[in-house]
Amino acid sequence: RIVYVNGDYLPEEEAKVSIFDRGFLMADGVYEVTSVLDGKLVDFDGHAKRLERSLKELDLVAPVTMDELLTIHRELVARNDLEEGGVYLQITRGAPADRDFVFPDPAETKATIVLFTQAKNLANSPAVQKGISVISIEDQRWARRDIKTVQLLYPSMGKMMAKAAGADDAWMVEDGQVTEGTSNNAYIVKGGKIITRQLSNDILHGITRAAVLRLAKEAQMEVEERGFTIEEAQQADEAFITSATTFVQPVVSIDGATIGKGEAGPVALRLREIYIDESR
């Protein structure tokens, strides 16, 4: 695989980052995952806008412009012959001379930028027809989940808790309501209405979420942005998740309780189809 690091395209074995990089020492960095379908990037602009916002919220100065970033994404997709999967991008605050809690002066320490591709079946994922099972866990992340930082330890622990319980993923709960999945946004469907938590600092503002809600409204489907409890989700007709790596994926059980008929629901499958059609 050819990867990108600080201006160079290199075989992955040759790519190097300093041990003093603040991404490594302090999880001081942000990332994006942009999906690739038929060799083309899906909604790069959405991801670039969210990246700019994440950078700004952390006073991080990108080492490249968004136009250059698009070129790098396309170049990596081409060099790796990527037909379907994703491009991972990470920008961290670079490697100052020593470990220090204080941010280094951006004039002296340039941010580190790394990109790589990952091949994955997105459009014909086997998990779609079967649906996934989720458990609920407490949301113990920090309070700025709207910033897409590389602090992914708690979401990783959440996936491990799900795995230990024989489930596929976890939905996180705060003050009695679902925030989101470990790496996706969470939805339920009741009486034809699509319900998902409103945007705030409590959740990541999913790029797939924005597209799916827009497409749902265009298809005259009813959308309500509000929080919901696990009990309400268990009594819903359908449940599903969205992200750049799953698109729309049906959820068929929550904490062992079957959702609806226990199979991929019609609303989720329709949204998935519309989303993929539009992304191609």
> Which member of 109, 117, 196, 208 binds ligand PDD (CB under 6 A)?
208
> Which member of 87, 204, 233, 248 binds ligand PDD (CB under 6 A)?
204
- Interacting stretch for ligand PDD, rule CB under 6 A, among 90-98, 111-119, 205-213, 254-262? 205-213
Q: For ligand PDD, give the closer residue by CB, 104 or 199.
A: 199
148 classed as catalytic: yes
Site pattern 9..48 for ligand PDD (x: CB under 6 A): ------------------------x---------------
* 111's tokens: 């941010």
169 near ligand PDD, judged by CB under 6 A = no
DSSP-based three-state secondary structure for 178: strand
Distance CA 261, CA 238 (A): 8
In angstroms, what is the minimal distance from the CB of 104 to ligand PDD?
A: 26
DSSP-based three-state secondary structure for 279: helix
Q: Which residues contact 62 (CB under 8 A, 6 or more apart)?
A: 51, 52, 55, 69, 91, 111, 113
Site pattern 229..268 for ligand PDD (x: CB under 6 A): -------------xxxx-----------------------
Q: For ligand PDD, give the closer residue by CB, 49 or 193.
A: 49
User: 93, 102 in Cβ contact below 8 A?
Assistant: no
- Interacting stretch for ligand PDD, rule CB under 6 A, among 5-13, 113-121, 199-207, 226-234? 199-207
- Interacting stretch for ligand PDD, rule CB under 6 A, among 69-77, 132-140, 183-191, 262-270? 183-191
Q: Which residues contact 126 (CB under 8 A, 6 or more apart)?
A: none
β pairing state of 247-254 and 132-138: parallel
| Maximal C-alpha separation, the chain | 59
Selected catalytic residue, list 148, 159, 190, 193 = 148
184 near ligand PDD, judged by CB under 6 A = yes
Q: For ligand PDD, give the closer residue by CB, 125 or 245.
A: 245
> Which member of 42, 115, 147, 207 binds ligand PDD (CB under 6 A)?
207
Distance CA 171, CA 20 (A): 34
For the chain, the straight-line distance linking the first and the last C-alpha, in angstroms and rounded, comes to: 25
Distance CA 175, CA 169 (A): 20
Which DSSP state fits 119?
Answer: E
Distance CA 6, CA 114 (A): 7
Q: Which residues bind ligand PDD (CB under 6 A)?
A: 33, 180, 183-185, 204, 206-209, 242-245
Give the residue numbers annotated as catalytic, written as ranges: 148
